[in-house]
């Protein structure tokens, strides 16, 4: 079945670009840890383990070239976070960027929030394509002029210059998280945002850095009684008083900030009853939710646990409305995956712009897409072998037993070191960004 | 040695859930303890990971408990003669804990019919004892402590309680598994090896009456376990088991100990 997944017409996914080094030896710092399109899709940001942020911009489509879509080229690169040392606890704080979230654009500049384990920063990315020339007090090369030699005054004029993109930190939100930040989410009021760590969620105002409101706190009085942690949190896309957070036990709590200052009591509690026949020692670990995302419509939310993606209707708490198996063939391998720590991998998931399709990653550089309308699913691979421009991606299949067909790959041959944890879907078009370790792949549909 | 050979033969014939369950239990226990110890060595382990590993260890613990209790329950019914066929109870002490592995009921029945009741009693008692010690390990390690540097507090109580354990265990063998051997502010070293040495010494003393120190008197046991006193040969009524049978039971316990020794190899 060659029809692709993308909602509506049949799409065929094609390779567009790949960014990053080709070397087999991957530098730890280059491993991509987050990928995010901005609201218009014009910009694509990545964060890596080295604390750097790289922003790609889509080039304007040339009217002459009808076939191709705009390509993404490097727009700005900056060091967002540096490694720090907590002297009080003798702990090193990693510079790895855990999350990037864009703010909606309100003027010529772009703003984004980037977070490592402990600190969130608001960055302003602005362009400069003019500079003033003809200063009175300094020469063109910047040297100060001798004031006694100035005999006339002139008005500096703005002259065009080569485009320069500057990134400057405008706010630093620090010292509010004892535990590791796993999520940040900009509220629909565009004034506040939340940040979540393992045990607490804080609400910030974008203008105020020296304080935040703690809105969820699940830390028990006796830490030895701790059995559940927060794994992800997100603000509702339209209702600025509503947010959700997921837990390591596979539950999601929806909270209304109007109900109380401290939202320890949820408004809604989403949990699917466990299937007793599939219970094992690993049931809890694989039920831990690694990502939660609201649909653009705000009516649904999607959760990712180790083996599946579930779509929930916010009006129905007792079970998801849709469940998609990502790699069910791993269920019989859970003991090995527990041993090699793969069972703790945190996969993310994302919606397409129209909420008709969802995407998530897997192992062996495979990623999966599910069409919610047609119920078709497809497995694709991000690899350099299929990296010719506009080369169509061939659907991949994992052989789960019996005779392996041609072009199928057996479960035992999967490379568990090649994992796709981070993916992003353009908000308006069928363009996707897939992070494969230190490489960023961009694919787009063949149509147009 | 004959008994041991027979025992092994039985296991070979019966490839059913028992050995598979044991083997997976052992794997999960091995891996979890290994991860736990590795995380202990880290300055700041991941809290999510620590909580999940800790919960898995607790789950292992409760599953083993459920198994032992159902073993005891079935055996007791057999001995009293209440139920002709032992049914592996699907319910466990806690409502939310269902047995993980669907042991073949027929296999269980064969096992029970093949074993003597004395073996079952001693075996389950030994397992209870070992579980109690496992509880001490797990309970001491449960939950992250306030300091983020050791999210799961190390098995700090073990060293202090080692000496107390032996007495506690011997006097409490017949009772259900109790936990909560918490001791704040104990030394940090996980002395599992010493713990196991302790168990080893006590069960392998050939002259020791295994039921010595039981709070239940010999007469009470004889009342509830008539077959025990009947099968005791050429020994006084005060000693419920003969030397030969004690040796045999020791071998049974040795088998169980082997499993745990593999789990916690002495360094």
* Each residue's pLDDT tens digit, A78-109: 999 999 998 888 889 999 999 999 999 999 99
Check residues B43 and A124 and name the one with the higher pLDDT: A124
* Chain A residues close to B98, C-beta within 8 Å: 276, 279
Q: Report the alpha-carbon angle B70-B74-B79, nearest 5.
A: 145
pLDDT in the model for residue A304 = 98
pLDDT at A209 over 90: yes
Task: Give me the pLDDT at residue B64, please.
Answer: 86
Averaged pLDDT for residues A8-12? 61
**How far is residue A267 CA from its own chain's centroid?**
27
| Predicted confidence band of residue A388 (pLDDT cuts 50, 70, 90) | confident
> Which residues of chain A does B60 touch, with a Cβ-Cβ cutoff of 8 Å?
281
Quick one: pLDDT band at residue B160, thresholds 50, 70, 90?
very low
Mean pLDDT score, A179-200: 97
With cut-offs at 50, 70 and 90, classify the pLDDT of residue B134: low
Backbone angles phi, psi at B59, to 5 degrees: -65, -45
Using the predicted structure, report yes or no on whether residue A74 has a pLDDT greater than 60: yes
Taking CB atoms and an 8 Å limit, are B48 and A89 in contact across chains? no
Taking the CA atoms of residue B55, residue B57, residue B60 and residue B65 in that order, the dihedral angle to the nearest 10 degrees is -100
- Give tens-digit pLDDT for A313-336: 999 999 999 999 999 999 999 999
Distance (Å, rounded) from C-alpha A304 to C-alpha A330?
15
Mean pLDDT score across all residues of chain A: 92
* Mean pLDDT for the stretch of residues A188-206: 97
- The alpha-carbon gap from B70 to the nearest alpha carbon of chain A, in Å, equals 19
What's the CA gap between B187 and B182, in Å, rounded? 12
- Whether B121 shows a pLDDT value over 70: the answer reads no
Whether residue B118 is predicted with pLDDT greater than 60 in this model: the reply is no
Q: Residue A159 pLDDT > 50, yes or no?
A: yes
Residue A278 to chain B, least CA–CA distance (Å):
9
CA-based nearest distance A251→chain B, Å: 14
For residues A367 and A309, is the Cβ–Cβ distance under 8 A? no
Nearest to A225 among B31, B100, B143 (CB): B143
> In whole angstroms, what separates CA A294 from the centre of its chain?
13
Chain A CA closest to residue B62? A281
For chains A and B, count residue pairs whose Cβ atoms are closer than 8 Å.
76
Instruction: Tell me whether residues B56 and A285 touch, CB distance under 8 A.
Output: yes
- Looking at the predicted structure, is the pLDDT value of residue A225 above 60? yes
Q: Which has the minimum average pLDDT: A219-228, A245-254, A345-354, B227-236?
A: B227-236
Q: Give the C-alpha separation, A282 to B130, whole Å.
A: 24
Any bridge partners for residue A47, and if so which?
A34, A53
Band of residue B81 on the pLDDT scale cut at 50, 70, 90: low
> Cα distance from B17 to chain A (closest Cα, Å)?
14
Exposure of A385 by Cβ count < 10 A (0-12 exposed, 13-18 middle, 19+ buried)? Answer: exposed
pLDDT exceeds cutoff 80 at A269: yes
| Residue A63 confidence (pLDDT) | 62
Chain A: which residues have CB within 8 Å of chain B?
A: 89-92, 178-180, 198-199, 222-229, 231, 248, 276, 279-282, 284-285, 288, 335, 338-339, 344
Going along A13-156, which residue ranges are E strands?
A: 13-19, 32-37, 43-48, 52-58, 72-79, 84-86, 91-93, 99-102, 110-115, 120-133
Query: What pLDDT is attached to residue B182?
Result: 35
Contact residues, chain A, for B44 at CB < 8 Å = 89, 91
* pLDDT band with cut points at 50, 70 and 90 for residue A24: confident
Output the pTM of the full model. 0.72
> At residue A223, does pLDDT exceed 50?
yes
- pLDDT, one tens digit per residue, over A236-255 is 999 999 999 999 999 999 99
- At residue B45, the pLDDT reads 84
Residue A44: the pLDDT is: 98
Using a CB-CB distance cutoff of 8 angstroms, which residues of chain A are in contact with residue B96?
none
Residue A26, pLDDT score: 87
Residue A284 to residue B56, Cβ atoms within 8 A: yes
Note whether A202 and A195 are within 8 A (CB). Answer: yes
Residues B206-250 have pLDDT tens digits of 443 433 433 444 444 344 434 433 443 444 444 444 455 556 556
Predicted local distance difference test score (pLDDT) of residue B18: 64
Instruction: Quickly state the pLDDT bin for B264 (edges 50, 70, 90).
Output: low
Confidence band of A406 (pLDDT split at 50, 70, 90): confident
Instruction: For residue range B90-111, list pLDDT tens digits in order.
Output: 444 443 443 333 333 444 444 4
Judge whether residue B79 has pLDDT over 50: yes
Question: Angle A90-B46-A413 (CA atoms, 0-180°, nearest 5)?
Answer: 135
> What is the model's pLDDT at position B74?
82
pLDDT at B111: 44
Identify the band that residue A13 occupies on the pLDDT scale cut at 50, 70 and 90.
very high
Average pLDDT over residues A133-147: 87
Write the pLDDT tens digit of every residue in B173-200: 333 333 333 333 334 444 444 444 444 4
| pLDDT surpassing 50 at residue A354 | yes
């Amino acid at each position: 079945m060659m029809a692709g997944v993308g909602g509506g017409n049949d799409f065929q996914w094609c390779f567009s670009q790949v960014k990053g080094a080709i070397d087999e030896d991957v530098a730890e710092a280059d491993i991509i840890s987050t990928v995010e399109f901005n609201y218009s899709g014009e910009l694509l940001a990545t964060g890596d383990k080295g604390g750097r942020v790289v922003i790609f911009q889509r080039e304007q489509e040339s009217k002459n070239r009808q076939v191709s879509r705009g390509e993404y080229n490097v727009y700005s690169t900056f060091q967002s976070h540096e490694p720090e040392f907590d002297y009080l606890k003798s702990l090193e704080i990693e510079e790895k960027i855990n999350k990037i979230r864009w703010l909606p654009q309100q003027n010529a500049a772009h703003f984004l929030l980037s977070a490592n384990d402990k600190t969130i920063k608001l960055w302003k990315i602005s362009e400069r394509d003019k500079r003033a020339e003809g200063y009175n007090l300094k020469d063109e090369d910047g040297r100060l002029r001798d004031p006694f030699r100035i005999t006339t005054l002139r008005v500096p004029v703005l002259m065009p210059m080569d485009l320069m993109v500057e990134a400057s930190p405008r706010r630093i939100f620090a010292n509010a998280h004892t535990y590791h930040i796993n999520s940040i989410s900009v509220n629909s009021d565009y004034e506040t945002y939340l940040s979540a760590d393992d045990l607490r969620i804080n609400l910030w105002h974008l203008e105020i850095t020296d304080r935040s409101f703690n809105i969820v706190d699940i830390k028990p009085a006796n830490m030895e009684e701790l059995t559940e942690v927060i794994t992800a949190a997100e603000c509702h896309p339209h209702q600025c008083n509503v947010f959700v957070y997921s837990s390591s036990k596979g539950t999601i709590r929806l909270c209304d900030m109007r109900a109380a200052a401290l939202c320890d009591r949820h408004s809604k509690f989403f949990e699917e009853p466990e299937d007793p026949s599939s219970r094992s020692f690993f049931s809890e670990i694989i039920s831990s939710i690694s990502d939660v995302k609201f649909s653009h419509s705000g009516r649904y939310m999607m959760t990712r646990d180790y083996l599946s993606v579930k779509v929930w209707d916010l009006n129905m708490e007792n079970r998801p409305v849709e469940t998609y198996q990502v790699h069910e063939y791993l269920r019989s391998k859970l003991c090995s995956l527990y041993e090699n720590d793969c069972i703790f991998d945190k996969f993310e998931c994302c919606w397409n712009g129209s909420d008709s399709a969802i995407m998530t990653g897997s192992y062996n550089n495979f990623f999966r897409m599910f069409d919610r309308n047609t119920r078709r699913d497809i497995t694709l691979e991000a690899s350099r072998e299929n990296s010719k421009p506009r080369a169509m991606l061939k659907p991949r299949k994992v052989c789960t037993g019996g005779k392996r067909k041609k072009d199928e790959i057996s479960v035992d041959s999967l490379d568990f070191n090649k994992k796709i944890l981070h993916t992003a879907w353009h908000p308006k078009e069928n363009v996707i960004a897939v992070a494969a370790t230190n490489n960023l792949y961009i694919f787009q549909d063949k149509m147009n | 040695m004959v008994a041991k050979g027979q025992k092994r033969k039985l296991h070979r014939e019966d490839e059913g859930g028992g050995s598979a369950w044991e083997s997976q239990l052992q794997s999960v226990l091995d891996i979890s303890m290994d991860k736990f110890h590795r995380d202990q060595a880290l300055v700041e382990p991941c809290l999510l990971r620590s909580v999940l590993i800790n919960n898995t260890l607790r789950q292992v613990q409760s599953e083993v408990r459920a198994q032992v209790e159902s073993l005891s329950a079935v055996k007791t019914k057999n001995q009293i003669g209440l139920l002709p066929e032992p049914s592996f109870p699907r319910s466990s002490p806690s409502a939310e804990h269902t047995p993980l592995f669907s042991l073949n009921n027929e296999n269980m029945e064969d096992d029970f019919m093949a074993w003597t009741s004395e073996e079952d009693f001693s075996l389950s008692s030994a397992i209870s004892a070992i579980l109690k010690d496992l509880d001490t390990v797990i309970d001491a390690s449960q939950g992250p402590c306030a300091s983020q540097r050791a999210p799961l507090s190390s098995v700090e109580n073990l060293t202090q309680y080692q000496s107390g354990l032996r007495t506690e265990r011997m006097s409490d063998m017949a009772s259900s598994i109790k936990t909560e051997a918490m001791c704040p502010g104990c030394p940090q070293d996980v002395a599992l090896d010493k713990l196991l040495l302790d168990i080893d010494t006590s069960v392998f003393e050939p002259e020791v009456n295994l039921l010595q120190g039981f709070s239940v008197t010999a007469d009470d046991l004889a009342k509830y376990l008539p077959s025990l006193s009947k099968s005791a040969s050429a020994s006084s009524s005060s000693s419920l088991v003969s030397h030969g049978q004690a040796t045999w039971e020791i071998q049974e316990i040795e088998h169980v100990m082997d499993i745990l020794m593999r789990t916690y190899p002495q360094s």
